[in-house]
Structure 1
């Protein structure tokens, strides 16, 4: 496994996040006590050990498109932006991919951003990192473009085998950010990003037809921890930083064992590790942007803070973002 070590990517580009938004489905699954899902009973001690007290489950009408429109609308409103001023819209999703058309153009149309270039990306649970890095590339390559809406939406509950423990961990949600290009060389904003792939580990997690249920291998946890730490080390090293310089780590949450491994590996105090895993579950590629939106609105994330976000996903992809709010 290797992580690219080129020079800093976005420092001085003028790129910054200028709006956050999220959408949670109406149905909340309460995981306190014993829980029966998919016809199988899970005792209270098993449920408690998984660490997810509640999660959201999308109804049939709460499609990826439906959730994405609402998250994107909230992000634009939060930043005081008009939808028609969007130059680019990228949707990250892996749970509901279809042949054609892609979902992003429909999201752009319903949002009122008909003139934006809109397309989908995947990357499994690294989808948000993939989409932000792609949006940053497009914005810097097009002198006249100023604003991108990046949405990440998954209906992860649909990919859990009925009756499995995944039904107690996998939740549904959509999160969105506005990535805006302003004055170059201003402090803060998006500093760096990385996305890499270890093809030899591509089948560590898989979801294949006909059912599309997630099937992880036992080595997933060790690989996820190792990959997350490699990403963090690469981003910090090439920006002349140490883990102590981070104000917050807002990662893609996998499970409590992965969280503990990453915290220990970075020697981070618990208060710097910020995730809504216990209340929302593992929401796939939506996990980072919903946390940014939710915690920014609550005041737990503040302007000027240095944030590191790491993510891993089937492929085997591993990546991260380094940015100042």
Structure 2
């Protein structure tokens, strides 16, 4: 990008995690699994889970409020929410987030690209700024993904957690700290079945047949997804670095979607860069889907691993299949406080922190093994 040309600039950041924490030891108690097996396979030690009545919109509002405060702004011209778990099928959650934040009748819409959603939302918001439609935008990645997991499947319950992260973008110029460069987005719909929730949409409803309960839960073909994630994230991240004029060795910090610790290690090997340059918080939050990249950014800042002046590349891969990346020189922002807790009053509903029904039904000393173990 030509120095001095119009650009979208990162101006604030915020994060939110639900209060309830589920460590591996609780999963072990439910499934008679091995806590070390979970950690070794995924790199995850614990994850945050929404309580009854908490939803994606609650997480998004809390993270958005923190990001606005970080930027020193009372309002923005647009709100873009990336999520795979909106509060309802229709309407989008973004307009509700905007009104709860007191932002007035601003442009507000959702982006659905699952784990790549935050990068797609950044691209969409940057486009609004480039077109002059907005001078500032709040971009939020938020998911309560534990609400769409099969309660009897350890292979997904061990991996995913809930949360939200947000950044504020303002109109600025290329070359200044925080200016986004090399925004790359891609997809491969031919492989959409690798990551999906089959039921609940118009395709299933148009059959006129009752939906199977199992079709309402998230499914993933792990081995094939692993290969695609490594290949696609490494390629798009390398392209964004090149767009910014950097070789992989010039990049100070890589902030990638926190899907699995082994995927991050494989991407580092693919790029031939030290793993120490990768920001990672997967051990404490798990895979938070669209919230993953902004949560890692906030955590990297809070821990001192991400500092002003660092050359940073963001990248993600998710359902669709989709992938995306962007580059920036990290700006001097206030160190984010610990993630906010959702601002909601829990209502009567299922407790996602309780062991699944199949486990509760077992008598002591059951022999069932978790799927995929």
TM-score where L is the length of structure 1: 0.90
1:228 aligned to which of 229, 233, 238? 233
Could you report, residue by residue, the CA deviation over 1:241-293 in whole angstroms, capped at 9, with x for unpaired residues?
Answer: 21111110010011122112101011121220111000100000100011112
Q: After TM superposition, give the deviation of residue 297 of structure 1 in Å.
A: 3.0
Q: Across the two proteins, how many residue pairs are aligned to each other?
A: 313
Equivalent residues in 2 for 1:192-271, closer than 5 Å: 192-209=182-199, 210-211=213-214, 212-217=216-221, 218-271=223-276
* CA RMSD of superposed structures (Å): 2.0
- Report the alpha carbon displacement of residue 96 of structure 1 after superposing the two structures with TM: 3.2
Match of 2:151 in 1: 162
Residue 16 of structure 2 is matched in structure 1 by: 23
The superposition leaves residues 104-154 of structure 1 with CA deviations (integer Å, 9 ceiling, x where unpaired) of: 1110000010131111111111000000000000111016x3110001101
Please report how far the alpha carbon of residue 185 of structure 1 lies from its aligned counterpart in structure 2 after TM superposition: 5.4
Matched, 1:313 2:318: yes
Question: Equivalent of 1:58, from 43, 50, 54?
Answer: 50
Q: Is 2:135 the partner of 1:146?
A: yes
The answer on whether the counterparts of 1:9 and 1:191 sit within 8 Å (CA) in structure 2 is no
Partners of 1:96 and 1:67 in 2: CA distance: 11
Change (3 A) 1:197 1:138: same
Cα 1:174–1:33 change in 2 (3 A) is closer
- Partner Cα distance (1:151, 1:111) in 2: 13
Cα distance change on mapping 1:11 and 1:48 into 2, 3 Å: farther
Distance (Å, rounded) in 2 between the aligned partners of 1:62 and 1:256: 28
Alignment of 1:41-80 (within 5 A): 41-49=32-40, 50-80=42-72
The answer for the alignment partner of 1:181 in structure 2 is 171
Q: Check whether the contact 2:48–2:161 (CA below 8 A) recurs between aligned residues.
A: yes
The residue matched to 1:36 in structure 2 has which SS?
Answer: helix
**Gap runs ≥5 in structure 2:** 200-212, 331-373
**Matched position secondary structure for 1:189:** coil
Q: Tell me: CA distance 1:229–1:16, structure 2 relative to 1, closer, same or farther (3 Å).
A: same
Report the Cα distance in structure 1 between the residues aligned to 2:94 and 2:177, rounded to whole angstroms. 32
- CA distances 1:61-106 after superposition (whole Å, capped 9, x unpaired): 22111111100000011111113xx100001110236332211111
Does residue 1:81 correspond to 2:73, yes or no?
Answer: yes
In structure 2, the CA distance between the partners of 1:11 and 1:152, relative to structure 1 (3 Å rule), is farther
Distance 1:10 1:90 in 2: 27
Give the C-alpha shift of residue 17 in structure 1. Answer: 0.7
Whether the 8 Å CA contact 1:305–1:324 is kept in 2: the answer is yes
In structure 2, the CA distance between the partners of 1:11 and 1:155, relative to structure 1 (3 Å rule), is: farther
Deviations 1:14-65 (CA, angstroms, capped at 9, x unpaired) = 421110001000100111486234xx22223322323211110001222111
Larger strand share, 1 or 2: 1
CA radius of gyration, larger in = 2
Matched, 1:291 2:287: no
Residues 59-68 or 116-125, more deviating: 59-68
Evaluate the alpha carbon distance shift between residue 216 and residue 288 of structure 1 in structure 2; reply closer, same or farther with a 3 A threshold.
Answer: same
Q: Secondary structure at the match of 1:233?
A: helix
